[in-house]
Amino acid sequence: MRGDRIAELSRLVTGLAVYILCSCFAQAEILSGRVVKIADGDTLTVLDKSNRQHKIRLVGIDAPERKQPFGTVSRQNLADLVFGKEVAVEWHKQDRYQRVLGKVLLNGQDVNLKQIKAGLAWHYKQYDKDLRLADKRLYAEAQKAADLKGIGLWSDPSPVAPWDFRHNKSAPSVADEGCEIRLPGFRYKIDPVICGICRNALKSVSTLSALVESARLAARPDAAEAN
């Protein structure tokens, strides 16, 4: 008899938990509009039909900061995906900066997930509580796959997570406009992506010298004539 009561109570608790969980997801709001600005690889602005702008923080992911390797590439990839396009944003709440925390959908496709698949964002496990369990699994699997393929930020042998970078000022960084090699009477600018991939290699004097020499040869007038 006692066992039956415990079993019944267990079913009631389980049912209540499922109901609460489903109710939370059912309350997700939908914001629709055109993407008019890309701040970085995980933040954009949507203009709704009433011409009101909403800053959206893509929930469940964290893209490299602007001064990190692949920060610029991540931002550009997000722009290529959604800038100027109509999107729908599933969201539950705003953060302390009044940004909408949401999943951005383009023609039904999860843009947050696409950033992870491209190796241009991390699965932000610390702040994925508002994601469905299925989405959490997809994000985790996408990051693992990108890591195994060595694409995007995972091509870096020692990628620094954005949340660690924000709290560690000594972490390696690159400027948005790229790195520069400066020698007396000579300056050579390197794309930030190359900086991110090769920053360890560039510590080698021989590699640096070879790069500078190649740049000098390419800049010679007779080199242009030869081509």
Query: Catalytic pick from 8, 57, 137, 180?
Result: 57
pLDDT, tens digit, 9 for 90 and up, residues 12-37: 545 544 444 444 444 679 999 999 99
Residue 129: the pLDDT is: 85
Query: Catalytic pick from 34, 90, 96, 99?
Result: 99
Domain ranges of the chain: 29-156, 179-226
Residue 128: the pLDDT is: 85
pLDDT, tens digit, 9 for 90 and up, residues 168-224: 865 555 544 445 555 555 555 555 545 554 544 444 444 445 555 555 555 555 544
What are the beta bridge partners of residue 165? none
Note if 65 is an active site residue: yes
Please write down the long-range contacts of 146-153, taking CB distance under 8 Å and 24 or more positions apart: 146/116, 146/117, 146/118, 146/119, 147/119, 149/119, 151/118, 151/119, 152/70, 152/73, 152/74, 152/118, 152/119, 152/120, 153/64, 153/69, 153/70, 153/74, 153/119, 153/120, 153/122, 153/196
Residue 127: the pLDDT is: 86
pLDDT at 58 over 70: yes
Residue 28: the pLDDT is: 76
Q: Which residue's structure tokens are 């109901």?
A: 19
Average pLDDT over residues 72-79: 98
**Three-class secondary structure of residue 110 per DSSP:** strand
Residue 203: the pLDDT is: 41
Give alpha helix (H) positions in 65-172.
Answer: 71-82, 111-117, 133-149, 162-167
DSSP letter (8 states) at residue 161: P
Query: Catalytic pick from 65, 75, 90, 199?
Result: 65
The whole-angstrom separation of Cα 59 and Cα 162 is 14
Threshold 0.75, pTM exceeds: no
CATH 3.40.47.10 fits 29-156, yes or no: no
The whole-angstrom separation of Cα 137 and Cα 155 is 23
Count the neighbouring beta carbons within 10 Å of the beta carbon of residue 81. Answer: 19
pLDDT, tens digit, 9 for 90 and up, residues 81-140: 999 999 999 999 999 999 999 999 999 999 999 999 999 999 999 888 889 999 999 999
Note if 99 is an active site residue: yes
Give alpha helix (H) positions in 94-161.
Answer: 111-117, 133-149
